[in-house]
Each structure stands twice: as C-alpha cells, then as structure tokens.
C-alpha cells in the first residue's frame, strides 16, 4: 500500500513538472518571436546599404564612421548617384588619439568634394557619386512652419480655427465648476 501511494505521488509530481516545463518553453519561444520579428528583405538591404554608406563616407573623409550622424539618403544605387544628408560629430577621445581631422575640417572637405563632384564611395562594388539632398521648394524651406505642410485648404482651416480660438472671450462663469464640500453633518454636497 505504501509503495502504491509513493508511485501515484511520483507520477503526479512528474506530470506537474512536465506541464511547467512545457509552459515555460512555450512562453520562451513566443517571447523571442514577438520581440525580434524577422526583418523584411528590403529593410535588411536598406540597413546594409546604410552601414556601407556610413563606412565609405568615413573612409573618404578620413574619419571614424561612428562620427557620421543623422545619415539620410535617397536615390538608386543602380543609377550610380545618391543624394545624402548627414551631420559630423565632434572629435571624441578615440578620434583625438587616432589623430582624426576636426569637425570643421571634415565638413569643409565634404563640401569641397561635393562641389567638385568627386565625392565617390563604393557600395556593392559600384562607384557611386554623392550629391546633397536639395530642398524641394526654396520658399517653403525658408518658412519653417510651412516646410512640410503645403495643403492650402488645410492652412486656411487652421488659420480660421486659430483666429476663432483667440477671439472667444474668456467668461468666468464658463470656467467655474462644482466642487464637493462637507456640510455641518459631514455629508458631501456640491458647491459652486
């Protein structure tokens, strides 16, 4: 009888441990798939081109690729031209130890290379000419508020709404609200 009880308890404990193990493994596998979804091929290619472009800009300007910041690019590599825009960070300790050029020297070198149309990088074994991204509309670029907002109808509605909002009088009776207070018997009553 004692042997029979021992076998049943052992079997129950084994089933409980197997259940916990299966749940834990199932939880771990769903967590890894949700936190790191498989990237699409186009996003992987874009990231790869971005890394190559950052490394090549660093090579041409003779600075560390980690100093290239806010890199944006547009265009087609098959046409052998890209339009880019990027910032160069100041020298850090490692850049100073490697005797890299300063931010202003790197910027002037980049501007000179772009002006002479000799800013050439190699991506996927192709020589690509780098040109700057130019603003689409110089008037819109001058006006920061309308730089990315060119819909005339929505601008008129926005102006009308702003004028109406500013012209509404601030009436004190509209902003008074009821509050809860206590009477002499400690009952809650609304007060204005």
Tell me the pLDDT tens digit for each residue of 119-149. Answer: 889 888 888 888 887 665 544 444 544 445 5
Report the range of poorest mean pLDDT among 46-50, 87-91, 92-96, 165-169. Answer: 165-169
Q: What's the average model confidence in pLDDT over 55-79?
A: 87
Q: What's the average model confidence in pLDDT over 56-71?
A: 89
pLDDT at 93 over 60: yes
End-to-end CA, the chain:
79
Report the range of poorest mean pLDDT among 15-19, 41-45, 182-186. Answer: 41-45
Q: Which pLDDT value is given to residue 34?
A: 39
CB 149 within 8 A of CB 163: no
Report the run of H or E that residue 73 belongs to, with start and end: strand 68-76
Q: Which pLDDT value is given to residue 86?
A: 87
- Phi/psi at 149 (5° precision): -135, 90
Report the range of poorest mean pLDDT among 40-49, 83-92, 132-141. Answer: 132-141
Name the pTM for this structure: 0.48
The confidence band for 29, taking pLDDT boundaries of 50, 70 and 90, is very low
Q: What's the average model confidence in pLDDT over 5-20?
A: 89
Q: Which pLDDT value is given to residue 12?
A: 93
Top pLDDT among 132 and 168 is at: 132
Buried b (16+ CB within 10 A) or exposed e, 24-37: eeeeeeeeeeeeee
């Amino acid at each position: 009888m004692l042997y029979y009880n021992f076998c049943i308890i052992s079997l129950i404990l084994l089933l409980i441990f197997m259940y916990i193990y299966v749940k834990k493994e199932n939880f771990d596998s769903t967590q890894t798939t949700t936190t790191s979804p498989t990237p699409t091929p186009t996003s992987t290619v874009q990231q790869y081109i971005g890394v190559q472009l950052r490394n090549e800009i660093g090579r041409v300007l003779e600075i560390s690729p980690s100093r290239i910041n806010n890199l944006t690019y547009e265009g087609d590599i098959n046409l052998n031209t890209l339009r880019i825009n990027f910032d160069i960070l100041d020298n850090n300790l490692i850049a100073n130890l490697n005797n890299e050029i300063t931010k202003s020297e790197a910027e002037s070198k980049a501007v000179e290379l772009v002006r002479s149309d000799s800013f050439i990088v190699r991506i996927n074994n192709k020589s690509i000419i780098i040109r700057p991204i130019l603003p689409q509309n110089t008037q819109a670029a001058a006006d920061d508020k309308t730089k990315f907002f060119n819909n005339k109808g929505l601008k008129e509605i926005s102006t009308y709404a702003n004028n109406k909002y500013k012209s509404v009088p601030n009436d004190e009776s509209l902003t008074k609200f009821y509050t809860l207070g206590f009477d002499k018997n400690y009952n809650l009553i609304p007060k204005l």
